[in-house]
Structure 1
Amino acid sequence: MQIKKVKCGKIMDSRGIPTIEISVMTLNGTFTASSPSGTSVGKYESAAFSHKGIDASIFLLNSLQDEIRKISFVKFGDLEKLENMIRSYDDTTNYRKLGANVLYALEAAILKATAGGENMELWELLAEGKKPKFPFPVGNCIGGSLHSKLLFKPDFQEFLFIPRSDEFFENVFINSRAYKLAEQKLLLMDKTFSRKVTYESAWETSLESEQILKIMKEVSKELEKQFEAKVDLGIDIAASSFSNNGKYKYKDKTLGSEGQIEYIKKLIKEYGIDYVEDAFSDDDFASFTKLKDSTGCMIVGDDLTATHFDRVKQAISTNAISGLIVKPNQNGSLLQMKKIIDLAESSGIKTIISHRSGETMDTTIADMAVGWHLDYIKTGIKGREREAKLKRIIEIEKGV
């Protein structure tokens, strides 16, 4: 596949904040991708855009058009030629000149064009001859912390349902029912509840975290009885958002690392939680390890690992995680992300590809989840940008 032209411009993400959209034009058509951005951004993530701003990123990419057109693409590994060229213009460790969002959107658009040139769907190009595998959807139902716009809100960032039916379509339907049941219970328990939603279209509430977990447990039991399928519960604590100097500052208490470990263990046991993400600050590998060693719950790293190989390697070597969030724009390089996924899988770590709070209609991560055999895909349950990813996987499931 030979590129004829690259078009780069700005669009608004789901929060109304500018992000990047890139179109790659070939003899087979025009192939477009866009990059999301996060609200809760880990300090180890690559820079989203140039340190001079998004317009500087666009200017730099446009100046590289002639270099990009010299490269031919047939398979995923051909991105190495692109990245080597990019590195001759941006040799910073975190893409401070070009921006990780720009590199990711460019590579995603090129992969779509490459698949089109080979008369394949994107997931087929990524699968390299393997059969598709469908992930479990991790559905963000109720939100708090930095994702909520309310003044009074839960300390934890996300409250998650993870249905485990054999079919992806049924799991999406179960999460949709969970969303409705949670709404009904919030109307009864939260007198201030007004059906407003977070940046990720999860319900906003003024209830405290444990009140929400009680609701989630009730909903899970009702759904398991109705659908005869296990419905796991999860929380994204996003502890870095309320930690400082090793202390975790809740509205009603302040805990040290040991106190945080005991508190999370208590919640896991009391509410039957199966998935805990970012329970500690993004440098506290030791506490992640202690929690993982003392519970059968999946302990997941996001801010801890930030989709960067060295941090993932450290988390694995210290036995700190049993699950790993991967977000393409946390790194920028899809070659690096695939290397991270392969490392996680060879180490027995569950992989979760994730959306961001500021999303677009792009569905690349859905094809990645299926083609690369990721264990989970984390999205919202509602919201057009979230549902687009789920619908794409359902479309693939129906097609095969």
Structure 2
Amino acid sequence: MSQILMIIGREILDSRGNPTVEVECYLDDGSFGRAAVPSGASTGAHEALELRDGDKKRYNGKGVLKAVSNVNEKIGPALVKEGIPATEQKMIDEFLLELDGSDGKKNLGANAILGVSLAVCKASAEMCGLPLYRYIGGANANLLPVPMMNILNGGKHADNNVDLQEFMIMPVGASSFKEGLRWGAEIFHSLKKVLSSKGLATSVGDEGGFAPDLKSNREALEVISSAVEKAGYKPGEQIFFALDPAASEFYNGKEKVYDLAGEGRKLPSSEMVQFYSDLCRDFPIISIEDGLAEDDWDGFIEMTKTLGDKVQIMGDDLFVTNPRRLKQGIEKKAANSILIKLNQIGSLSETLETIEMAQKNSFTAVVSHRSGETEDTTISDVVVATQAGQIKTGSLCRTDRIAKYNQLLRIEEELGDTARYAGKTAFYNLNL
């Protein structure tokens, strides 16, 4: 038997001290699953709705009691009554979408629906006696991802003069996930020393990256290069760089320009592409996420044409983990990669469908956290289950980020000799 006995939702806090939804699922054989839902800082306009209370007297309007109430009073009782076996994930997720009945999960909230979707999946995995990655991905789930480690922050994730939101390192040349994680940690500590020696701040942003007041975006890449070398590694061989400019955040829609305030420049799309081309010429950048605004399709097409054979051109706000928007991107050749955030689309089945669509069309899929995270490690299992080959889950500090890395260490250890580290094969659609 795998009948759902009870669903319980509650309000908990995320890593930024804001409320979020946690859901527990109990099956009739005693199996149990718990899932907590993350939340973004820079959110795409096309994301599924994250339901907030709007009561300014409580958590500055960010409470999630409405979403929790939807779990406890609507979703839970309806699922129990419907009697769908917990192991029928797709049927359960389709039932949740029907129950919501809106485009974008506006009635029940994506945070309520995703919490239930994941909690049911975890309970089913426990019932089957399988680790989550094996339950979702089957016998072939053995690929450990290359991590995108966010070590320096600007934009919305920090209070400084750097326009681009995230500067990341990727230990592409490592032989295992464990080794890659060690390299990242050593570079993180090396960067702290480099910043201190320059008299710069070593406080960290939402995702654990440093947020120093640097003069320009280029200087950020220079200090990272220095930190990599001082840690004893070779940029462009062992370590590659990745950027998440989050360009929608500094796009001026009226003037149709990108306002790089920190550099005192306003650039149209074509000049932004040239700006990135120059950075890619001077630094070993292997991935650029949201380099242009979320509805700048023409800019993305030009960027993919210019850089797409050597650089991963990734859509986050552009695609919002949505199969419909991804289909557009594939047809227009507007990128070659998609960032996968479970709460952007709001159910596990839709997430897996989007990843499958990407992979079938030679797009890479990078499984990602959000800036507001919890101790939940589901994405670590999802990235192995789907053999996505890349994970983006923050810096080398803050437990909400490290929890995901530690789960991947456990998975790699459990897989033993069958474990494979993606390395350069994670970028199978590039000419490296």
TM-score by length of 1: 0.94
1:67 equivalent among 74, 78, 83? 78
Q: Name the CA distance, whole Å, in 2 between partners of 1:229 and 1:375.
A: 18
Match of 1:287 in 2: 299
Identical aligned pairs, as a percentage?
26
Matched, 1:196 2:165: no
Shift in alpha-carbon separation, 1:325–1:224, aligned structure 2, 3 A: farther
Shift in alpha-carbon separation, 1:82–1:145, aligned structure 2, 3 A: same
SS in 1 for 2:285: coil
Give the Å deviation of 1:104: 1.2
Residue 48 of structure 1 contacts residue 101 of structure 1 at CA under 8 Å; is this kept in 2?
yes
Match of 1:268 in 2: 280
Matched, 1:186 2:195: yes
Which whole-Å deviations, capped at 9, do the CAs of 1:340-392 have from their partners, x for residues lacking one? 10111011111100000000000000000111111200011221010000100
Matched, 1:393 2:408: yes
Letter in 2 for 1:354: S
Match of 2:373 in 1: 359
Which whole-Å deviations, capped at 9, do the CAs of 1:57-82 have from their partners, x for residues lacking one? 2222212323212434354xx22322
Q: Name the CA distance, whole Å, in 1 between partners of 2:162 and 2:234.
A: 29
Match of 2:424 in 1: none
Give the Å deviation of 1:83: 2.9
Q: Name the CA distance, whole Å, in 2 between partners of 1:303 and 1:145.
A: 15
Match of 2:227 in 1: 219
Shift in alpha-carbon separation, 1:364–1:94, aligned structure 2, 3 A: same
Matched, 1:82 2:82: no
Match of 2:18 in 1: 17
Letter in 1 for 2:143: K
Q: Name the CA distance, whole Å, in 1 between partners of 2:392 and 2:94.
A: 31
Matched, 1:36 2:3: no
Shift in alpha-carbon separation, 1:181–1:212, aligned structure 2, 3 A: same
Q: Name the CA distance, whole Å, in 1 between partners of 2:235 and 2:155.
A: 31
Q: Name the CA distance, whole Å, in 2 between partners of 1:158 and 1:267.
A: 14
Which whole-Å deviations, capped at 9, do the CAs of 1:141-194 have from their partners, x for residues lacking one? 00011011x2x33101000000021201111111111111111111223x3x33
Q: Name the CA distance, whole Å, in 1 between partners of 2:385 and 2:185.
A: 25
Unmatched runs of 5 consecutive residues or more in structure 2? 55-62, 416-432
Match of 1:141 in 2: 151
Residue 93 of structure 2 contacts residue 117 of structure 2 at CA under 8 Å; is this kept in 1?
no
Q: Name the CA distance, whole Å, in 2 between partners of 1:331 and 1:239.
A: 21
Q: Name the CA distance, whole Å, in 1 between partners of 2:30 and 2:240.
A: 43
Q: Name the CA distance, whole Å, in 1 between partners of 2:332 and 2:235.
A: 39
Q: Name the CA distance, whole Å, in 2 between partners of 1:99 and 1:86.
A: 11
Match of 2:391 in 1: 377
Match of 2:266 in 1: 254
Matched, 1:328 2:330: no
Residue 50 of structure 1 contacts residue 98 of structure 1 at CA under 8 Å; is this kept in 2?
no
The range that moved more, 352-361 or 315-324, is 315-324
Alignment of 1:24-173 (within 5 A): 24-26=25-27, 27-49=29-51, 54-64=64-74, 65-69=76-80, 70-73=82-85, 75=87, 78-148=88-158, 150=159, 152-164=160-172, 165-173=174-182
Residue 50 of structure 1 contacts residue 95 of structure 1 at CA under 8 Å; is this kept in 2?
no
Residue 47 of structure 1 contacts residue 99 of structure 1 at CA under 8 Å; is this kept in 2?
yes
Shift in alpha-carbon separation, 1:379–1:87, aligned structure 2, 3 A: closer
Give the Å deviation of 1:89: 3.0
Q: Name the CA distance, whole Å, in 2 between partners of 1:94 and 1:131.
A: 30
Residue 224 of structure 1 contacts residue 230 of structure 1 at CA under 8 Å; is this kept in 2?
no
Matched, 1:230 2:238: yes
Give the Å deviation of 1:274: 1.3
Give the Å deviation of 1:2: 1.5
Letter in 2 for 1:396: I
Letter in 2 for 1:316: I
Q: Name the CA distance, whole Å, in 2 between partners of 1:153 and 1:227.
A: 25
Match of 1:205 in 2: 212
SS in 1 for 2:169: strand
Unmatched runs of 5 consecutive residues or more in structure 1? none
Q: How many residues align?
A: 394
The range that moved more, 373-382 or 384-393, is 373-382
Residue 100 of structure 2 contacts residue 106 of structure 2 at CA under 8 Å; is this kept in 1?
yes
Q: Name the CA distance, whole Å, in 2 between partners of 1:204 and 1:351.
A: 27
Q: Name the CA distance, whole Å, in 2 between partners of 1:36 and 1:50.
A: 13
CA RMSD of aligned residues (A): 1.8
Give the Å deviation of 1:223: 4.9
Q: Name the CA distance, whole Å, in 2 between partners of 1:380 and 1:180.
A: 15
SS in 1 for 2:116: helix
